[in-house]
Amino acid sequence: MLNGLYDFFSTLGFGDPLHPPVTHLPIGLAAGAFVFVLIAVIFRKKNLEITARHVSILAFIFAFPAILLGTLDWIHYYHAVLFTPFTVKITLASVLLIELAVGIILGNKIKLSRFVMTLLSSVGFVAVIGLGWFGSGVMYGRGIDMSRTGQAQSPAPVVSASPSSVPAKPSAAGEALFAGYCASCHPGGGNVIRPDLTIKISRTLSDESTFLGFIRDPRLPSGQAGAMPSFPADVLPDKSAGDLYDYLIYMNAHGWK
């Protein structure tokens, strides 16, 4: 059922994770509430205290769809494995929800001191920063051991290139291209978006022409568009694509570090 949901969005042309587009709402609103509280405390503006509470209410409301979609992405792409970034994100999201709820409830029932208001909003703001940092860790692979998914492991790369076609040394140009275009989503030959579709086992490396066709029009094994962007010739010329291909073949043959 969950795969069907993602396939549906792919047919609409949206093959990306569902969480990122909505997470900016609660994060931005929580940060905004913190700014309003600071201004209200510094300049003693009672009306901005009320504004901060209203913004906090909106942040609290929008946090729930963001958490729901984040959970779906976590299950769909990472098979609900508790990598360190996810554990921390769950903890920080809980802290942010509690902070917002306490501030909203007490702000309505009890006249909070400026110190308490500042302290609460500061806790929420720190949680927001942490969520952003560890969220980027998910996107860039920090703290994610790809082998823990159980699907990224393979006894040998599924690549039909013969040993004689493997370059004698890694391509420096290809390495630079990989670092610039690929490493954020494919650290160490893995895949932080789809752990089951790694470079290490990719059939698109069977020959250079297959690889070139794939990067020009990336498709999932099902034939549908996925999260990977295309690299047209004006972005990655054929010669550069060949350098990248040589680097990937070499790294697959000699083992990713």
Residues 222-247 have a mean pLDDT of: 88
pLDDT for the residue numbered 122: 95
pLDDT for the residue numbered 144: 57
Whole-angstrom Cα distance, residue 159 to residue 202? 7
> Do 250 and 183 touch, CB atoms closer than 8 A?
no
CA-based nearest residue to 77, from 187, 253, 198: 198
Kindly give, in sequence order, each residue whose CB lies less than 8 Å from that of residue 107, ignoring residues fewer than 6 positions away: 49, 53, 56, 117
pLDDT for the residue numbered 143: 56
Whole-angstrom Cα distance, residue 62 to residue 16? 20
Q: What is the DSSP letter of 179?
A: I
Q: Is 44 left (phi over 0), alpha (psi -120 to 50) or beta?
A: left
Whole-angstrom Cα distance, residue 88 to residue 83? 9
**Regarding predicted confidence, which is higher, 253 or 216?**
216
**Regarding predicted confidence, which is higher, 83 or 31?**
31
Question: What domains can you pick out in the chain, each with its CATH number?
Answer: 2-144 (no CATH), 149-254 (1.10.760.10)
pLDDT > 70 in the chain, percent: 87
Q: In the 3-class helix/strand/coil scheme, how is 148-162 assigned residue by residue?
A: HHCCCCCCCCCCCCC
Average pLDDT across the chain, whole number: 83
- pTM of the predicted protein model: 0.61
> Do 42 and 114 touch, CB atoms closer than 8 A?
no
Q: Is the pLDDT of residue 200 over 90?
A: no
* 60-105 pLDDT per residue, tens: 999 999 999 999 988 876 667 677 788 899 999 999 999 999 988 8
Whole-angstrom Cα distance, residue 104 to residue 101? 5
Residue with the two structure tokens 């670092």: 179
Quickly state the pLDDT bin for 52 (edges 50, 70, 90). very high
Give the N- to C-terminal CA distance of the chain in Å, as an integer: 36
Quickly state the pLDDT bin for 201 (edges 50, 70, 90). confident
> Do 41 and 114 touch, CB atoms closer than 8 A?
yes
Residues 208-215 have a mean pLDDT of: 92
**Regarding predicted confidence, which is higher, 23 or 73?**
23
Give the ranges where the chain is alpha helix by DSSP (H): 2-11, 19-43, 46-78, 84-109, 114-140, 172-177, 208-216, 238-254
* 110-168 pLDDT per residue, tens: 677 888 889 999 999 999 999 998 887 776 555 555 444 444 333 333 444 443 478 88
Whole-angstrom Cα distance, residue 242 to residue 248? 10
